[in-house]
Chains A and B, each alone.
Chain A
Amino acid sequence: MEALSLFIRSIFIDNMIFASFLGMCSYLAVSKTVKTSVGLGLAVVFVLLVTVPVNYLLENFILKADALVEGVDLGFLSFIMFIAVIAAIVQLVEMVVEKFAPALYGQLGIFLPLIAVNCAIMGASLFMQQKAFPNIGYATVYALGAGIGWFLAIVLMAAIREKISYSNVPAPLKGVGIAFIVCGLMAMAFMSFMGIKL
């Protein structure tokens, strides 16, 4: 039950975009059409699902105080280790996608390597470290929830932006400006989930 509540919590209440603003850059840059945003969203879910559990193992068996050698705390290395794992896995995913799904690769284009520097990926690993989950199952569930939350946010945003492109927006607000304000309004809507007790 606890895993289920963690799952729902990480999708709606602790939503990556609306509650902690992670992955905003690619979120704003790619959310112009629903099609590409679905692709990027799926890529983020996938990369999260792989990197968070791997980093969880790394954190618990190497970096934690006393984990590797008695009396040694390697915690200060966690940033560099996490980012190295993420960069390596993204590279791997890129090669796999290029080989087996060239159409998707063409669509994702430059965004796939950019996932390595997507704050949502790194952020999920850092939150995982902060929340100190009891076992790897929870970490995986959290990664899945965070990924789906991000996916949901970017697809919703893309759908709204597709509609907005036909509306008469004041010139200075066109593009990024209105995207920010729409995102703010969506975040307000998502805030209503905060009342849910799980």
Chain B
Amino acid sequence: MAQTKNSELIKNPLNLNNPITVQVLGICSALAVTVKLEPAIVMAISVTVVTALSNLIISLIRNTIPSRIRIIVQLMVVSFLVILVDQVLKAFMYELDKALSVYIGLIITNCIVMGRLEAFALGNKPLPALLDGIGNGLGYGLILVIVAFVRELFGSGQLFGFQIIPQACYDLGYENCGFMLNPPMALILIGVVIWIQRSKMKELQEK
């Protein structure tokens, strides 16, 4: 791991080592906030910020944390960051914060954050840890945006709240697929994303 170049720390999680489709971490929030693009992007940014900063902080103090209580220390650092994010969102984007409801608080228990802390930040220098956090946050965001894009486009014919599918199509009998807005479609879409990714990259397939 020590030899991994810094640029790869950011690039790998986007594709080969994606936190959602390959490491299977942080699914909970990925599914729930993807009905529309806007909350998905806000969520992606929040998670990236929290992952990056918590990776940095834990990596800075990694030599002083006794290993027996490291989980508690990590949880405290993460929840401190999440409270900051939550307060910022409440102050500047109150409506969106309401829409994301409990899922902002759940960044604390988002496995991506804890997973990266355990797997990377505890054993690496601050700079790579920061980059790793950013990379994984972006990888998570990428999947969120893909799923939210499909769900919003086909579910309500809009992107970012703007009508994309023209009225003429509706006049011809096109209808929004309301099912896209329901929870099950999020699961199936992620399944399909995994399917596509793994058919392209044979080395990721499970035996």
A interface vs B, CB < 8 Å?
18-25, 28-29, 76-80, 82-84, 87, 113, 116-119, 121-123, 126-127, 130, 170-181, 183-185, 187-188, 191
Contacts and interface: CB of A to CB of B under 8 A. Distances in A.
A22 B106 contact: yes
A184 B83 contact: no
B188 A180 contact: yes
The secondary-structure label for the interface of chain B is helix
Given A177-B195, A180-B187, A184-B191, A28 B24 contact: yes
Contact of B195 (A29, A173, A184): A173
Contacts of B194: 172-173, 176-177, 180
Interface core residue of B110, B184, B198, B207 (most chain A CB under 10 Å): B184
A23 B198 CA distance: 24
B136 to A, nearest CB: 14
A117 B82 CA distance: 14
Given A18-B183, A172-B198, A181 B71 contact: no
B187 A187 contact: yes
Interface residues on B, range: 35 or more
A197 to B, nearest CB: 19
B108 interface: yes
A24 B28 contact: yes
Given A173-B198, A177-B194, A188-B184, A87 B75 contact: yes
A21 B32 contact: yes
A44 to B, nearest CB: 13
A123 B87 CA distance: 18
Contact of A24 (B31, B71, B83, B195): B31
A89 to B, nearest CB: 12
